[in-house]
Amino acid sequence: MLTCLCCCFAAQALIAVNRANLLTRLWKGAPRSLLRSEYFFYTQVRNLVESDPDIFSAGNCYGHRQYKKYDLWCPFGYRLSNDSSQVCTQPVLVRNQHRTQAPQMCGQFL
């Protein structure tokens, strides 16, 4: 059974590994203005979900003060259960003193 699972999801695992490698390269050398853009990171998780119909969600989390002044920040993209062609993004978990509501963004924008 495990062998079947490995074969069935090898392509999706490779997509995730490649995205992680991309983010590592960006953190090492991209302009600071790009790295401070929340929009950029939401676009990355959305694009990952849109890249393969077998990927139903993706996220990228940062711990205490690893991203801006957030205690914890996790942009997350996912397919709607009633319309798998629709991909939404939102912060799964945001903990800091300034943010209490996590907006859900669907459709052609973020």
More confident residue, 20 or 106: 20
108 part of a folded domain: no
> What pLDDT is stored for residue 77 in this prediction?
93
106 part of a folded domain: no
Q: Looking at the 3D structure of the chain, how many domains does it have?
A: 1
13 part of a folded domain: yes
110 part of a folded domain: no
Count of beta carbons in the 10 Å neighbourhood of residue 87: 25
What's the whole-model pTM score?
A: 0.78
Q: Residue 54 belongs to what domain range? A: 2-95
103 part of a folded domain: no
In percent, how much of the chain has pLDDT > 90? 57
> What pLDDT is stored for residue 48 in this prediction?
95
75 part of a folded domain: yes
Average pLDDT (16-33) is 95
pLDDT tens, position by position, 67-98 = 999 888 899 999 998 888 899 999 887 655 44
29 part of a folded domain: yes
